[in-house]
Amino acid sequence: MTPTEELENLHAMIAHCTECPLHATRTNAVPGEGAVDAKIMFVGEAPGAQEDKLGRPFVGRSGELLTELIEGIGLTRKEVFITSVLKSRPPNNRTPKKSEIDACLPYLDRQLEIIDPELVVLLGGVAVSSLIGPWKMADAHGRFYDGNERTFFITYHPAAALRFPSTREVILADFEKLRAELS
């Protein structure tokens, strides 16, 4: 099976997944989208209302900002892969429960195996704690982290920039570091 077929099969499984209670309240599961051979993967927290409605990741207001940030480092959405820790929306965008994260993480692990990106950009505390451990975002953002098998870059979730304008400046500065490292 080719990586594209493996990813399609995985996303079909996610679309019908009932491994945690979120399947009962979602409209659409949101597996993620982008290039199967992406060098960079972006991982957020969970789908929001627009994402749930359309079944696509980061298509709401935070998605507009993420798209700008990706273009700011010289790439397009089609050249990277965008997903989140949870593939189904928590009601009212509440914080994901540990049991939901535990149930869903195998899908993200499998996406990482298939796509095998050179760099994983973690967007916000849930992505950070789920993939590399409980870091304080204030200390961790703007830093690269070498895991056993992968390199991660840590920054805030774009949704935080919509709530707190000062966080937008911090995210922009983090992405400038990322751009400098990639160029």
Measured from the CB atom, the residue of 20 and 120 that comes closer to ligand SF4 is: 20
Measured CA angle at 145 (ends 142, 151), to 5 deg: 110
Measured from the CB atom, the residue of 42 and 175 that comes closer to ligand SF4 is: 42
Q: Are residues 45 and 137 in contact, defined by beta-carbon separation less than 8 angstroms?
A: no
- Rounded least distance, CB 165 to ligand SF4, Å: 31
Measured from the CB atom, the residue of 56 and 141 that comes closer to ligand SF4 is: 56
Phi and psi at 124, nearest 5°, equal 100, 170
Measured from the CB atom, the residue of 62 and 111 that comes closer to ligand SF4 is: 111
Tokens representing residue 3 in the block:
């990586």
- Rounded least distance, CB 132 to ligand SF4, Å: 20
Chain residues in the site for ligand SF4 (CB under 6 A):
14, 17-20, 22-23, 29, 86-88, 100, 103-104
Q: How far apart are CA 46 and CA 95, in angstroms?
A: 9
Q: How far apart are CA 24 and CA 55, in angstroms?
A: 15
- Rounded least distance, CB 159 to ligand SF4, Å: 18
Q: In what order do the strands lie in the sheet with 33-34?
A: 33-34, 81-84, 40-44, 119-123, 151-155, 144-146
- Rounded least distance, CB 28 to ligand SF4, Å: 10
Measured from the CB atom, the residue of 19 and 79 that comes closer to ligand SF4 is: 19
Q: How far apart are CA 35 and CA 4, in angstroms?
A: 9
Q: How far apart are CA 171 and CA 158, in angstroms?
A: 8
- Rounded least distance, CB 94 to ligand SF4, Å: 13
